[in-house]
Structure 1
Amino acid sequence: MKKLVFALLLGLLVQDCSELYENPEQVYLIEEGRHDSKVVAGFVGDKLRTLKSSTLRFTARFDESARYNLGNKNQEDINKLFGFADANSMHHDNSIRFGWRYSAQKDQVEIFAYAYQNGQMNFEYITDLQIGANALFQINLTDESYELAVNGDHTVTMERKVKDKLGVYYLLFPYFGGNETAPHDIRIYINERV
């Protein structure tokens, strides 16, 4: 009987500890009138975090707060979702991330590849997402390119122009704008995958 109780307690302990190794969903809040985001739910780690491998994988979803109407040409600006600065560069010099903007005509979120290459901004449309839908995002880093995929079947490859491939790759988090700040509170739900 003691062995059975011990085995059950050990099983419960191991089960509870396994939750420590799961990445919880993080809720990023971009407050009205701001560009930058902050984590309001989920694991709050160091503000400055780095890429630990040649692949960044995460799921993300946008709730109804992603709908906005700026009423001007800045509606076409691309907001930033998640990515990283390349090898010891500042993110406005060399970086790659996913971008997004709300399209009222489609009532969907448009997703883009968004890069700075030697100080020049480049972007390319990837796909549309429905409000509330979870999507898997992945950036693969190779010597010559960035390979971006959404749900494994919508892919874009962009040239990687950084010369020094070694160094620190710091993560870049949700950001609203362009020129405009968030017209109301916007929440983005991200779950990083290892």
Structure 2
Amino acid sequence: MKNAIPLFGLLLFFTACNVEIDSPFAGDDQKVYIIKQGQHESNRTIKSFKGDVLGFKASFDESAIYETKREENQADINKLMGFSDCNSHHHENSARFGWRWYNDKLEVHAYCYVNGDRKIEYVTTVALNEMNDYQISIIDNKYVFTVNGASRVEINKNPNCSGDVNYMLFPYFGGDEPAPHDISVAVHTDQ
């Protein structure tokens, strides 16, 4: 229960912000997230997450092609979708897909925090303007990432997880550099 207070504070912080709420789960089940030039976040909507599977489809257009100001930041992983875990902040325990434009390709990665330690593993490369199936499942104390039912990566999760006050994580650019131009990602989910 010790993590409930910080999580409540996080929820209060986000709901107290004066931002437009545009939930992808109200009404239409497809949403185009736009990360504005000079920003990191596409959405500050708070949406709880329950269960052990997050499945969605996503498509990147040409706006996913970018070049960072500092060459070493090109290798940074941006975030697609995922969820916090273990009734804690997402920098403590979470699982989400990451992506980057690297070596003229759009790479997809598994991106997790487990007990505060960041773990990143390459999953696959996807084409622009193509809808792909993404799934994160919790199976036998592992986060299992699959893309199009074939590419698969497993990352061990916190075995001492407790509580089910978790929340969704939405598209985010960075690393330390903000988006160099508007970047849009279309997401279709059944959640």
TM-score, normalization by structure 2: 0.82
**Could you tell me how far 1:53 is from its partner in structure 2?**
2.0
For 1:132, the aligned partner's letter is N
**Could you tell me how far 1:167 is from its partner in structure 2?**
1.8
Taking structure 1 as reference, are residues 23 and 150 closer, same or farther at Cα in structure 2, changes over 3 Å only? farther
Q: Does residue 1:149 correspond to 2:154, yes or no?
A: no
Structure 2 counterpart SS, 1:176: coil
Query: Rg: which structure is higher?
Result: 1
Alpha carbons 2:40, 2:179 under 8 Å: kept: yes
**Could you tell me how far 1:23 is from its partner in structure 2?**
4.7
Q: What corresponds to 1:29 in structure 2?
A: 34
Q: What corresponds to 1:53 in structure 2?
A: 51
Alpha carbons 2:50, 2:164 under 8 Å: kept: no
Q: What corresponds to 1:163 in structure 2?
A: 160
Alpha carbons 2:29, 2:190 under 8 Å: kept: no
Alpha carbons 1:23, 1:192 under 8 Å: kept: no
Aligned residues: 166
Q: What corresponds to 1:115 in structure 2?
A: 112
Q: What corresponds to 1:85 in structure 2?
A: 84
The equivalent position to 1:136 in structure 2, one of 133, 137, 143, is: 133
Alpha carbons 1:28, 1:188 under 8 Å: kept: yes
CA–CA distance in structure 2, aligned partners of residues 22 and 189 of structure 1: 16
For 2:111, the aligned partner's letter is Y
CA–CA distance in structure 1, aligned partners of residues 36 and 159 of structure 2: 33
**Could you tell me how far 1:186 is from its partner in structure 2?**
0.2
TM-score, normalization by structure 1: 0.80
For 2:167, the aligned partner's letter is Y
Structure 1 runs (4+) deviating above 3 angstroms are none
**Could you tell me how far 1:142 is from its partner in structure 2?**
2.8
Please give the root-mean-square deviation of Cα atoms over the aligned residues, in Å: 1.9
Identity %: 42
1:68-105 Cα shifts (integer Å, max 9, x gaps) = 011411000000000000021100001010000012x3
Alpha carbons 2:66, 2:101 under 8 Å: kept: yes
CA–CA distance in structure 2, aligned partners of residues 118 and 100 of structure 1: 22
Alpha carbons 2:33, 2:42 under 8 Å: kept: yes
Structure 1 spans left out of the alignment, 5+ residues: 1-20, 39-45
**Could you tell me how far 1:166 is from its partner in structure 2?**
2.6
CA–CA distance in structure 2, aligned partners of residues 97 and 147 of structure 1: 10
Structure 2 spans left out of the alignment, 5+ residues: 1-25
**Could you tell me how far 1:51 is from its partner in structure 2?**
1.7
For 2:133, the aligned partner's letter is L
**Could you tell me how far 1:168 is from its partner in structure 2?**
1.1
Q: What corresponds to 1:172 in structure 2?
A: 169
